[in-house]
Structure 1
């Protein structure tokens, strides 16, 4: 009994013309590693990065737009999260200064 072999269509790798391949290789050799990743990004990834750069960077899923500084650059957070973080920072500063004052008053001899 002789079984017929199944013919499988194996895709062939895409071969670039030699001049295109040479130019691409030369371009990659000119770039540093940090530039290669930036240059190779697709338009969809670039659009997402641009969109993300305008989006609030608060950990989580905040879709608000980042606020502007006086000099025209963007803060990392939206107005809501900036207010929240500033309140936390003020609270921490108060607690730290209160502890320092308590330590200083304990060390100082009472006269």
Structure 2
């Protein structure tokens, strides 16, 4: 029998999938009324996702701690380091170009998931 935490995670996964389905239907619908209907449904599901995420944080202290430290800056997703490289001389005040940190692959994401 699944725990409450597992149930919340299952519903979160279903809600995310449902959002994708509704947004796909909105893109494919011919009539604006039907497109608006599916966009409305997707927006409601997004509220459910937000509620599930908040409940998830309440139920799982480790998840709550992770949410407080996760890097969601634009640069992070581009794989760019936010820390500029040190200047190579006292008179050099120009910023170094961004440094590529990593790229996302299935393997890299899986290894991050498996890390403690």
TM-score range, shorter chain: under 0.3
Q: Which has the higher contact order (CA 8 A, sep 6+)?
A: 2
Q: TM-score, normalised by structure 2?
A: 0.24
**Structure with greater proportional helix content:** 2
Which has the higher Rg, Structure 1 or Structure 2? 1
